[in-house]
Amino acid sequence: MLTIFAVIAGGIILGRLLSNRNFNFLPRLITCIIWTLLFLLGLEVGSNPEVIRGMGTLGLTAFLIFLFSVAGSMVASWLLWCLIRRTSPTKRSV
């Protein structure tokens, strides 16, 4: 974990030192690196027989997490809206 923080800090320091240079190629390079990492991650997951065996259960679990996350976000935003509008959650203002 310390290595990760050191690399991030090094990137921040290097970026600060080189802030006056033009790096137009950098967004494309970062995009290519991210696509490569995603491909390698998929390759690693696909080659693990344990993960492949549990794919059905993982899919159902992921769907349930998605469903409850969206529902929870909707309820929290509705309650926040009621709080901002200074109305009771049972009363509706038109």
Check residue 29 and give left, alpha or beta (phi > 0: left; psi -120 to 50: alpha). Answer: alpha
4-8, 40-44, 48-52, 77-81: which range is least confident on average? 48-52
User: pLDDT grade, residue 39 (50/70/90)?
Assistant: very high
From first CA to last CA, the distance across the chain in angstroms is 52
User: pLDDT grade, residue 30 (50/70/90)?
Assistant: very high
User: pLDDT grade, residue 31 (50/70/90)?
Assistant: very high
User: pLDDT grade, residue 93 (50/70/90)?
Assistant: low
Domain boundaries, the chain: 1-53, 55-94
Q: How many C-beta neighbours within 10 Å does residue 59 have?
A: 10
| Total-model pTM | 0.52
